[in-house]
Amino acid sequence: MLRPLAAAALTAFCVPALFTSSADASATSTSTASSATPTAVYGFAWADGTGVLRVLPVKATLNRRSGPPRYTFSPIPGAKERRIDYSRAEFRRVTSACDLKETEGVVKVDAKGLGTTRCKPADLAFALGLGPTPVKISLGAKKRVYEVLALPGSSKTAYGTIRRVNDTTVLFTRGKKSIRLGYTALTFTRTTRSCGSPWLADRSNAQKNGLGRKDCTGADFTKALKALKRPVLAKIDYTSLSNQLNQVWEFTPAR
C-alpha cells in the first residue's frame, strides 16, 4: 500500500501542480547526488525508535522538466543503511502545512526540489509514521532533513524466509541475499481459520499451491511473527527502493 504522499508524488510526475520554486517551471536540468558525499544522504527514511530514523543511501537525480522539481532514486551498490538522530534537526516538508498527510495539490519546494515548509522534529516523526519518507539529509554543523518528491520504486513478489527485527521491520532472505523491509500497513494472507492463530496453526484457508487466502491485518502479522523463534517461509510483495513490505502470504509447501 502506497502512503498518501507517495501517491501524490506519482501524480506530480504526470500532472503539473501548484508549487513554490525560484526556478522557471519550464527549466530542464538534471543533477545527481550520492552517499559518496559525506555531508548529504538521500533515500527513503523509516522510523527506527524515538527521534531516530534509518535510511539506505541512494543516488538521486533531480528532474525539472515538467511540474514541480522531483527526484528519481536509484540503488548504490554496496550502500550500507545508516541510523540518524533527528531529535534536534530542522525539518522541511513538501506539504503546505506540517500536519498534512498529503500535498492536496499544493507542493512547497525550492529550485532543488527540497521541501520549504518549516517544521519540527515531532512533525518528522508524524511523517515517518505514515510510511517511508523520501528525504535529503544534510549532516553539516546544523542537521537538516528535507522532504522531497520521489517515486517509491516498482512492486515485486518473491519467495523466501522472513524473520522479525521489530514490530515494524523484518529481514527477508532469498538465497544469499537479505534485505530489511519496513511496514506500517500491510495485508497478511493466511492459511489458518482465524487471523489470530499462531503461524501455520492449520491449513483451513490454504490453497492447493500452499499459499494462504484469508486476508488479515498487519497487526495479525506482527502478533504471529513475534511468537516465532526462527525464520519462516513466506511469499511477499514489496516495493523496491523504499523497501516497503506490502503483503505477506503465509505459505506451507504443498503436500
User: What are the structural domain ranges in the chain?
Assistant: 4-147, 155-250
- Tell me the mean pLDDT in the region 218-236: 97
Residue type, 35: S
pLDDT tens across 156-187, in order?
A: 999 999 999 999 999 999 999 999 999 998 99
Q: With CA atoms as reference, report the closest residue to 145 among 75, 69, 47.
A: 47
Q: How confident is the model at residue 68 (pLDDT cuts 50, 70, 90)?
A: very high
Confidence of residue 147 (pLDDT cuts 50, 70, 90): very high
Other beta carbons within 10 angstroms of residue 245's beta carbon come to: 24
Instruction: Provide the β-strand partners of residue 45.
Output: 55, 133
Q: Is pLDDT of 14 > 90?
A: no
pLDDT at 9: 53
pLDDT band of residue 228 (cuts 50, 70, 90) is: very high
Contact by Cβ (8 Å): 147, 135: yes
Please write the tens of the pLDDT for every residue from 122-146: 999 999 999 999 999 999 889 999 9
C-alpha 245/C-alpha 131 separation (Å) is 10
Q: How confident is the model at residue 39 (pLDDT cuts 50, 70, 90)?
A: confident
User: What is the Cα–Cα distance from 154 to 149, expressed in whole angstroms?
Assistant: 16
User: What is the C-alpha separation between 165 and 128, in angstroms, rounded?
Assistant: 18
Identify which has the larger pLDDT, 6 or 79.
79
Contacts of 162 (CB under 8 A, 6+ apart): 170, 171, 172, 173, 225, 231, 232, 234, 236, 248
Q: State the pTM of this model.
A: 0.82
Tens digits of per-residue pLDDT, 98-111?
999 999 999 999 99
Give residues with Cβ within 8 angstroms of 141, minimum separation 6: none
The share of the chain scoring above pLDDT 70, in percent, equals: 84
- Residues for the chain: how many in total? 255
| Mean predicted lDDT score pLDDT of the chain | 88
Return the C-alpha cell found at 60. 538521486
H or E segment and range at residue 14: helix 4-14
